[in-house]
Structure 1
Amino acid sequence: MKDDLQASAVSDQRLLDLGYKPEFRREMSLFGVLGISFCAIGVLTGMSSAFQTGLFSGGPLGLFWGWNICSLFMLFIALSLAEICSAYPTMGGLYFWVCKMKPDVPILGFCTGWIYSIAMVFTGTSGNLSVALYIASMAEVGTGRTLTRVEIAGIAWGINIFSGIINTVGTKAIGRMSTFNVWWTLGGTFVLVITLLVKAPAKNSAAFVFTDFENFTGWDSRGFVVLLGFLQAIYTLAGCETAAQVAEEAKRAEILAPLAVVGSIAGSWFIGLAYMLALLFSVQSIASVQATSYAIPIAQLFYDAVGPRLTIMCLVVVTLAQVMAAVTAFTASSRLFYALARDNAFPAKEKYMALNRFQAPYWGVWTSVIIGCIISCAYIGSTIAFNAILSSAAISVMLSYLQPIIIRVFWLDSLPELGPFNLGRWSWPINFASLLFSTFICVLFVLPTAYPVNVLNMNYAIVAVGGLFVIVAINWVTWGRFSFVGPVQTFKAEKS
């Protein structure tokens, strides 16, 4: 108990030094903070939901090598962000870091905060719809009944509201859930891997797993098709920085938060690799997965490999992990709304900074829920529009990563005071590699994924991202530039 109090006091003092009065109880341990990032990454869920992206764009060859290459560069990005997080362990995360490192250009911090917070809401919405799609797949496997879009959207609404209720309970519930998620991910991966490898009627050869090339995209360029498969890994691995959003609720945040940022990527790399190899060795027919009628294609792979009963078990494992991942996205968005409101970068400051008796910023939580429910309605009318909105979330996250990394590369004195976690002489090379990779991925995300391109397979993510930029720009011009000048101190040290 005494050690915990001392650890909290050290972190509170660092927050005071940054000009913020501590408002949250520090109740999260390393496993709690690590679990937040693990939840946000959701390696089981991301791999399962986006597996077909790589399977149809490059096949096993692209999936295996794409996963390892992207994991390495995402680790570089995690190291870059962790170094900044250690110096500035506040819940504003990326937004606050940009403000502190480039205080003379407040529009950069304002745009980063808005884009990233909206991206977190979209990510949570995407996760909640994925839960609905997994449930719809279980229903079809178990009963043969195909749920309508309205029914799937209704389930997504229910999961959105459930996420809001869990987040309203507060820090202790989220911390315990995220800790549980670490063990659920480890145990779930073990169960899925063993089930697939033992029950699959036919096992693929090593040559198939490591060298087989598949192309369902229509593009002729082998290299470009494999690169498109990289998107599966990025969809899965984004989210490591979420630990920063609970930094003000963690003991020794300047150490635990950056360790969680890096550890979540390193752990997800190896857990995801084990799961991916099991999927590749046990997939019975790629054409069958491509032609599936199930709401989520991975259900067809499970069904072909292990039969209907075990398919439902596999889907339950992934679905519960997806629920926890979606809950965590709203945890992050609500904390971002709080941080933005604290610095006059978000309207209704008093409401969005209000905490209930569970220490939850409930206005931010339920704003996320309402937006999520509205977006879920788009799924009823047009899956193309819905997918464009959610694809924009992944691009927005990568663009948000870019902002602090660009500053670290081109303004070498932007981080004058390093935290206990720092990269030393490797800092600039790692930041530079992170910059190149992030830029490359942002371009790749907006390229068309099918050929010939038509109105049905066009990648509309660029339109959605453009719309998001317009919203943020209007907010800055009409309101933000008059109210936001950078982080607002809520505590001032007395002069001696």
Structure 2
Amino acid sequence: MITESDRRLIELGYKPEFRREMSLFGVLGISFCAIGILTGSSAAFQTGLFSGGPLGLFWGWNICSLFMLFIALSQAEICSAFPTMGGLYFWVSKLKPELPFLAYCTGWIYAIAMTLTGTSGNLSVALFIASLAEVGSGRTLTRVEITAIAWGINILSGLINTVGTKAIGKMSNFNIWWTLGGTLVLVITLLVKAPVKNTADFVFTDLENTTGWSSKGFVVLLGFLQAVYSLEGSETAGQVAEEAVRAEWLAPLAVVGSIVGSWIIGLAYMLALLFSVQSITNIQATSFAIPIAQLYYDAVGERLALMCLAVICLAQFMAAVTAFTASSRLYYALARDNAFPAKGAFMALNRYQAPYVGVWMSVLIGCVVSCAYIGSVIAFNAILSSAAIAVMLSYLQPIMIRVFWPSSLKVRGPFHLGKWSWAINAISFAFSSFICVLFILPTAFPVNKNNMNYAVVSVGTIMMLVVTTWVFWGRFRYKGPVATSVVPSKRCSGSDEKIE
């Protein structure tokens, strides 16, 4: 019996290949896990603390969460109409089929971004482990040791993804409860054990500026990057749409729900951190691998700091695993449409229903990129910063099409924004464009070789690589989505019929 979701997939031109074993909770968990609210807020906390301080962190979080919700709504509307693997890439290919270059670039940039996001997450796990060693034993791990740990985490992420849909779905379910329970534990521990509680005046109005820039407004805006970095990843639900029951409903609900949940949980966690921070100077001068470890050490002591860091570390690992889930599915989708080489290899599924070649290519790239950390922390940070920018650039493509070509969404899914559609897309487009520019601006002044924001170089390199592959290979092979179903697509070729 063909389910409603499989029928829709066939109408879009694809033969169902995956078992639909993910419930709403599982799909929501994928997005929630990819966002990694505990981990993103912890790993990037010092960015906002030094650029705007508590004022920038609190107000930046709420402002950015609102705009990221608009972006999620824009994505959910498209996802409901096209609930297929490939996510952003497939959406662009259907919204603007006469410009295959846009879809090709979106797919490649997003695939690279997801792979680098997983790499970043796995190195963060290694840094949390290094911080645990420093707090617990006083031993400082070398860059080589931290990189070796990152290699092990990359390989473990690959093994888990190779097991397939059931394992990832169960892990995502567990992650929701771990994040909720972990946040509660962290908040209570901080507020109960911190020897000195900061005042509301400090939490909501204190402005900190260690950047060297004289413009207070610009400094606060730089602090916004912490919030945006922490909230990226909600669209990951679209990558597993072909593995979800009633994907036309569940995937868009997961995209939006993960942002709403992350906004609330992240706000509670951030307020606990701000009320409990003992010394911003100590955090800035810390020798710990992850600066937030110093905040916990000062606020709750050695033993409880170890517990808190372990909670965050496990959440970080699950988030990184999910990034490789997304990248492997995206490689599958690109290969299926002749937008990626070695089509047969990247479309091959093992007995666990996992596109294992894409999984292990992500692991290989992650291990290679992690080696850059040995030579230069600055170079490695530039590579990973480019991942956050690449994600926002990928967000920008389908939203831009919806703004400038409103009639491009010829098929409406059950999740639709109605008369508010264009306005929400326009707001999302403006914010995404603004963040893409903000991400590449220098974060310190005066600018020198040690504090230069090299993300613009790494992003430029990624874009040149993608354009080069298009010129010499892609334009001869990629013409748009390749139908694999035995039933021809009827509804996606121009009809304005609404799907219920």
Q: Is 2:28 aligned against 1:34? A: yes
Structure 2 distance, partners of 1:136, 1:63, is 26
Secondary structure of the residue that 1:413 maps to in structure 2? helix
1:68: how far off? 0.1
Aligned-partner residue type, residue 323 of structure 2? A
2:215 is aligned, of 210, 221, 231, to 221
Residue of structure 2 in register with 1:338 after alignment: 332
Paired residues for 1:299-318 under 5 Å: 299-318=293-312
| Aligned CA distance change for structure 1 residues 494 and 107 (closer, same or farther; 3 Å) | closer
Residue of structure 2 in register with 1:251 after alignment: 245
* Count of paired positions: 490
Aligned-partner residue type, residue 177 of structure 2? W
Q: Is 2:64 aligned against 1:81? A: no
| Aligned 8 A contact 2:13 2:488 in 1 | no
Aligned-partner residue type, residue 146 of structure 2? I
Aligned-partner residue type, residue 324 of structure 1? M
Residue of structure 2 in register with 1:292 after alignment: 286
1:60 is aligned, of 35, 54, 58, to 54
Structure 2 distance, partners of 1:467, 1:431, is 29
Paired residues for 1:317-336 under 5 Å: 317-336=311-330
1:15: how far off? 0.1
Structure 1 distance, partners of 2:309, 2:25, is 25
1:491: how far off? 1.1
Q: Deviations over 1:363-418 (max 9, x none)?
A: 00000000000000000001111000000000000000000000000101100111
2:14 is aligned, of 5, 20, 25, to 20
| Aligned CA distance change for structure 1 residues 311 and 423 (closer, same or farther; 3 Å) | same
What CA RMSD, in Å, does the superposition of the two structures yield over aligned residues? 1.0
Residue of structure 2 in register with 1:476 after alignment: 470
1:494: how far off? 6.2
2:196 is aligned, of 202, 220, 225, to 202
1:492: how far off? 3.7
Residue of structure 2 in register with 1:148 after alignment: 142
Structure 1 distance, partners of 2:134, 2:174, is 29
Residue of structure 1 in register with 2:401 after alignment: 407
1:495: how far off? 10
1:190: how far off? 0.2
Aligned-partner residue type, residue 25 of structure 1? R
Residue of structure 2 in register with 1:105 after alignment: 99
Q: Deviations over 1:204-248 (max 9, x none)?
A: 000000000000101100000000000000110000000000000
| Aligned 8 A contact 2:10 2:488 in 1 | no
1:190 is aligned, of 172, 178, 184, to 184
Q: What TM-score does the superposition give when structure 2 sets the normalisation length?
A: 0.97
Secondary structure of the residue that 2:158 maps to in structure 1? helix
1:199: how far off? 0.2
1:53: how far off? 0.3
Residue of structure 1 in register with 2:390 after alignment: 396
Residue of structure 1 in register with 2:348 after alignment: 354
Q: Is 2:427 aligned against 1:433? A: yes
Q: Is 2:165 aligned against 1:180? A: no
Residue of structure 2 in register with 1:453 after alignment: 447
Aligned-partner residue type, residue 202 of structure 1? V
Q: Deviations over 1:323-346 (max 9, x none)?
A: 000000000000000000000000
Is there any run of 5+ residues in structure 1 with no aligned partner, and where?
none
Q: Deviations over 1:449-479 (max 9, x none)?
A: 0011000000000000000011101100110
Aligned-partner residue type, residue 466 of structure 1? G
Structure 1 distance, partners of 2:32, 2:294, is 26
Structure 1 distance, partners of 2:341, 2:395, is 24
Aligned-partner residue type, residue 291 of structure 1? A
Residue of structure 2 in register with 1:486 after alignment: 480
Structure 2 distance, partners of 1:220, 1:365, is 46
Structure 2 distance, partners of 1:473, 1:440, is 23
Aligned-partner residue type, residue 99 of structure 1? S
Q: Is 2:383 aligned against 1:382? A: no
Q: Is 2:418 aligned against 1:417? A: no
Residue of structure 2 in register with 1:163 after alignment: 157
Residue of structure 1 in register with 2:457 after alignment: 463
Q: What TM-score does the superposition give when structure 1 sets the normalisation length?
A: 0.98
Secondary structure of the residue that 2:480 maps to in structure 1? coil
Structure 2 distance, partners of 1:279, 1:387, is 24
1:143: how far off? 0.4
| Aligned 8 A contact 2:33 2:318 in 1 | yes
Residue of structure 1 in register with 2:495 after alignment: none
1:106: how far off? 0.3
